[in-house]
Chain A
Amino acid sequence: MKLTAGLIVLVCGIQALAAELPIKGYVSPDELHRQILQLSKQHPGILSVTTLAQTSAGHKLAAVSLGAKVGQAPAILIVAGLEGDDLTSAQLCLRFIESCCREYAHSENITTLLNHTTFYIFPVLNPDAAAQAFRFPIYNRTENEHSLDLDVDGSVNEDGYEDLNGDGFITQMRVPSPLGQWLPDPKNPQLLRPALPDQGEKGEYLLFSEGVDNDRDGKWNEDPSGGVDLSRNFSYRYPYFANGSGHYPMSEIETHALAEFCFAHGDIAAVFTFSSNGNLCRALTTGNNHADSKDKPLTAPMADDIVYINKVGEQYRTLFKYSSMTKEMMTAGSCVDWAYYHYGRWAFSAPAWSPGATDDSLTNTDPLLFERRLYSYLEKTDQLNKFVPWQEIRHPDFPDASVEAGGFIPYVGKNPPADSLNSITDRYSQFWQELASMLPIIEINSRVERLYRGVYRITAIISNGGKLPTCSRIGERLNWLQKIKIEAALTESQKMESGNLYYLLEAIPPGQSVEKSWIIRTSAPGPLLIKASAPSVGSAANVVQLD
């Protein structure tokens, strides 16, 4: 028995050698963790790594702090590897961290960036899923290793994928059948599309992912290993009872750890998440969002916030030139929606990479838009070897049918060849620098009026010199974001006759200011320190002389 198991491992090993990883040149989640840890030892002044939890599969879930003033400067949180089959974002984070380490104290841009901004980075939120890209058989995996009964039949993980043609990959399989709903696409017969019965079409094929019906229930690969798709486990518009969304919002080790980290870090001003569709790829429009309701959740961002999200979006689109995305703007239970609606931060999202996303020649209504873009991208870039042509296989579940396996190799749809990662990293680095430069900056100017001998009115003018308000409207509503606190630090000889020990300020839009004043009576001349700070904005101070 043991021998058989050994043989299988050996066979798989040989197969692994024969097949080429679709993401050659990418590093696995564990290796990536090791490399960042190594960098943190070489650059302790700007880089540290905290292990927050261990995932169900035993991977370390890490948060990286990058910056010269961690805890004292406003922070941008970057969440990568959130969608399990997006490996690119993790590689971009690694390269971004590497380049920051390399260039800090050498390049002016990076030095300024890290002296004024902290980056908290979750390089791989779902390492359990990402690891699947580095072991055979390779399949597009979005679920973590938390074992759940995905088809709710009482058995767990009982019907996963099988690599039937032995190429190392789980692609698709098509079975000719009068019940079939799929047809070869007339423009590109390698691709299948749903038949359109109202146009007199009749389907020819049943279409499945590659594998056998292990539990013989008439469904193929419906309960593979795992799990929960973390990108659908967050609490805003959480999809209850949807396959792979988990038992309840924020149920997973990974999402729970992220939320705990976020609420413990009041310095986070903005969140960027990598996801297939995002709020940066096209401009948001305002609409009815229940903003006036006291007891109904918002259904769209607050109108004032949309203005600024779109300003950031313009910067993004200038850099990335993506034409409009295809799918619905946001999936239910997404991280970026959570970051905005429930965490109250400026929250942005975009894909790490999207094949042919700058290609405008295809219409948005095409049901095969994504596949066509991908196919034509592979064709143009001479990578058609990443599409497995349909080839007949023997299939135990369909002994009499001519079953064929074929289709795109896993991961190619979201992850470009490794040699393009550096240029994408450069663009993201530029974007994050741009975003950092837009964060609010507070300044204080004070005015002293002498009302009588030893009696003064001190007026502090606090202004925002950045390009984003000091707090979003949603942040004000949620109360989790610490407001700017301005206080007059009185000395023993100074007594407050009027005014509060401190004031908490409402949001200050860019280029605007607010005034706060105190009446102070002094028994001896001396300076008075006025300071304003908020963890997510930074601080400013001003000394006035009361003579």
Chain B
Amino acid sequence: MKSLILCFVSSWLTAVAAGQTVPSALKALGAPNNPQVEVSWNRYYDYQEIGAICERLATGFPELIKFSSIGKSVEGREIYLLTCSSFDHGEVERKPGFYIDGNIHSNEIQGSEVALYTAWYLAESYGHIDWITDLLNRVTFYIVPTINPDARDNFIHQVNSPHSPRSGMLPRDDDGDGLFDEDPPDDLDGDGHLVLMRRRHPNGRWKSDADDQRNMVLARADEKGDFELIGYEGIDNDGDGQVNEDGPGYYDPNRNWGWNWQPNYIQDGADAYPFSIPENRAVAEFVLSHPNIAGAQSYHNNGGMILRGPGRADDSVYVADDADVYDVIGKRGEEMLPGYKYMILFRDLYAVYGGELDWFYGGRGIFTFTNELWTSFDYNRKTAEGQSWKDAQKELYRFDELLLFGEGVVDWKKFTHPQFGEIEIGGIKKSWTRTAPSFMLEEMCHRNMAFTLYHADQLPQVRIDTVMVQPLSGGLYQVDVRIANDRIIPTRSAHEVSHQFSRPDQVTLSGAQVIAGFLVTNPLLNLSIEQKYHPERLNVDAVPGMGTIQVRWLIVGKPSADIIFDSLKGGRVSRKF
């Protein structure tokens, strides 16, 4: 009987995977009408479920999605990778590459759903929406839904607040007592929620909000309060006079990257040394072994931001030409993401050493954004600019009351604490305030994906524009080749060109005897520079965004040859003449 049931379940699953839902007579625009792989985008997934979705996508779309891993986490989980591209169009690793990850901060989980949604949407729409078909023919996406799978599961399955843990799971001695992770927060009443502790106190500075008794507000300056707030649920596990001072982790995975890294006396959370965190190192090594990656996106929460570097005012690598590219894409993002602002990290948010986006751009010249998903604008589609912390807090209690019917908050209840005596426990659940509720999640996924696809669409698209052959005297020919880039992003960022840490683009003429080769620096004035060595393979700094370069050869013999343009990030194109 048992095996029969299993049999039934598995055939049902297969049926779902093969797209057996009934298509609507009126397709709602956006999502596929009859998806090959059914996935709900109104819920959050843990590590195992993410793996299962990846598996189903790869099985459902073998010509578009490959499922693998870029390495292992601290606790031995795989760091899953979905490679998405049309495998029938060009060599995957030679197409311009776009990297996406989410969830570097453990509690900032919804980036994984956005990343998964992107893979799903791309695959489902290939062959149905021309724009997407063209994109997957040209570009390879490397999608890592979570680069922090251990702590994602900790956030989901363990008792946490909306803000814990930010760290990964590498054990660290946070309080310097020689013990590791010995005083984590505790779910005192065993209700599965880590919320606040308050104690009635005749001289307390806090009181209940008159509009919503669940909310705590500061008493007026000239008014007595009723409570003191004691922090998140916990006891002094190690008897050292401190509560919750050494939980799992603690470091900031987004301060540990090998660009402008500084130790923790300057940069809090930096951890021991650049890339001491295995998950980060796995990403760096993956990126280094995929030099075609030219654009990248990481998803965080929250605040409604489209962030770019530099993280520090004194980091001078964001040269003007590259900043222009960032500005165009970032501004377009503001249009697609209501309530989101395009910001420069150090200038508009805070200064950071050793952040991920700075390594991607500073270390590898990859145009990279970080989106802070979910913003208080989303509550009521009203700007929150200038809103006080107190008003913001009131607004989310109001939202909980009107739209979540109280599901986001644990009501205060009494508890006898071993150290604090009679207290009360209550407050906001971990799944509220930083993450979207179910009915807003799909929109968040789609809009952010759309921004990222716009960015990916702007990866260099290079073609051989014109080949002009001009006979000179005595069997000598002058061959001029113009190469064009039809997108905004150059084949090598200006930063990369100025520091020459990647090989130049190469334009090769083969099949004819080359006498000399030149870079034409000014076609109008006919100025050129000879490349003395290997004139048949001309080195070019980059093909600029929406621009062209021109090269020239003098050849003898038959005026026919192959022209090959070969760029790490710009791909490879060729033409015979």
Contacts and interface: CB of A to CB of B under 8 A. Distances in A.
Contacts of B504: 152-154
A518 to B, nearest CB: 13
Contacts of B240: 500-502
B263 A241 contact: no
A303 interface: no
A241 B500 contact: yes
Question: Which bucket holds chain B's interface residue count?
Answer: 35 or more
A483 B261 contact: no
Contacts of A485: 177-178
Contact of B177 (A218, A251, A502): A502
Contacts of A338: 273
A149 B363 CA distance: 16
Contacts of A296: 266
Nearest to A535: B178
Given A247-B363, A504-B177, A295 B266 contact: yes
B241 interface: yes
B299 interface: no
Contact of B261 (A149, A218, A249, A480): A249
Interface in A346-384: none
A251 B275 CA distance: 8
Given A248-B258, A478-B265, A216 B534 contact: yes
A477 B532 contact: no
A20 B276 CA distance: 44
Given A152-B503, A341-B263, A485-B178, A248 B534 contact: no
A356 B206 CA distance: 75
A479 interface: yes
Given A152-B500, A216-B534, A482 B261 contact: no
Interface in A479-524: 479-480, 482-483, 485, 500-502, 504
Nearest to A263: B272
Interface string A450-488: 000000000000000000000000000111101101000
A387 B389 CA distance: 76
A217 B178 contact: no
B217 to A, nearest CB: 32
Contacts of A259: 272-273, 276
Interface string A292-306: 001111000000000
Contacts of A342: 263, 273
B533 interface: yes
Contacts of B262: 297
A535 B265 CA distance: 21
B314 to A, nearest CB: 9
A178 to B, nearest CB: 17
Interface in B248-304: 258-259, 261-266, 272-276, 284, 288
B264 A479 contact: yes
A235 interface: yes
Contacts of B351: 295
A197 B273 CA distance: 46
A501 B241 contact: yes
A248 B261 CA distance: 10
B173 interface: yes
Given A154-B503, A249-B258, A259-B276, A478 B263 contact: yes
A483 B539 CA distance: 56
A235 B261 contact: yes
- Contact residues on A (Cβ < 8 Å of other chain), bracket: 35 or more
B276 A217 contact: no
Contacts of B176: 479, 482-483, 504
Given A216-B533, A248-B363, A250-B258, A294 B276 contact: no
A248 B359 contact: yes
B178 A480 contact: no
B420 interface: no
A241 B272 CA distance: 22
A248 B275 contact: yes
Given A235-B274, A341-B263, A217 B534 contact: yes
B239 to A, nearest CB: 5
Contacts of B532: 218
B264 A248 contact: no
A501 B239 contact: yes
A477 B265 contact: yes
A297 B178 CA distance: 27
A478 B264 contact: yes
Contacts of B137: none
A535 B506 CA distance: 56
A250 B263 contact: no
B308 to A, nearest CB: 19
Interface in B125-153: none
Interface in A334-348: 338, 341-342
B421 to A, nearest CB: 19
A240 B361 CA distance: 13
B272 A480 contact: yes
Given A154-B503, A218-B532, A249-B258, A235 B284 contact: no
Contact of B284 (A248, A260, A502): A248
A504 B177 CA distance: 7
Contacts of A217: 533-534
B20 interface: no
Nearest to A474: B265
Contacts of B275: 248, 250-251
Contacts of B499: 240-241
Contacts of B241: 500-501
B501 interface: yes
B416 interface: no
B48 interface: no
A479 B175 CA distance: 9
Contacts of B258: 235, 238, 248-251
Contacts of A247: 288, 363
B61 to A, nearest CB: 33
Contacts of A250: 258, 273-276
B11 interface: no
A164 B276 CA distance: 44
Nearest to A266: B178
Given A154-B503, A218-B533, A480-B272, A294 B266 contact: yes
Nearest to B506: A154
Interface in A140-176: 149, 152-154
Given A235-B274, A250-B274, A152 B284 contact: no
A338 B266 CA distance: 15
B502 interface: yes
A152 B177 contact: no
A342 B177 CA distance: 20
Given A235-B274, A482-B176, A297 B284 contact: no
Given A218-B533, A248-B359, A152 B273 contact: no
Contacts of B274: 235, 248-250
Nearest to B284: A248
A482 B501 contact: no
A17 B286 CA distance: 45
B371 to A, nearest CB: 25
Contacts of B533: 216-218
B352 to A, nearest CB: 10
B167 to A, nearest CB: 15
Given A218-B533, A241-B500, A342-B263, 16 more contacts: A154-B504, A218-B532, A240-B499, A249-B258, A249-B261, A250-B273, A259-B272, A260-B276, A263-B272, A263-B273, A263-B276, A266-B178, A297-B262, A297-B263, A341-B263, A482-B178
25 contacts: A152-B502, A153-B503, A153-B504, A154-B504, A154-B506, A217-B533, A235-B274, A238-B258, A240-B363, A248-B258, A248-B259, A249-B258, A249-B261, A250-B274, A251-B275, A263-B276, A295-B351, A297-B266, A477-B265, A479-B176, A479-B264, A482-B178, A501-B239, A501-B240, A504-B176
Interface of A: 149, 152-154, 216-218, 235, 238, 240-241, 247-251, 259-260, 263, 266, 294-297, 338, 341-342, 477-480, 482-483, 485, 500-502, 504, 535
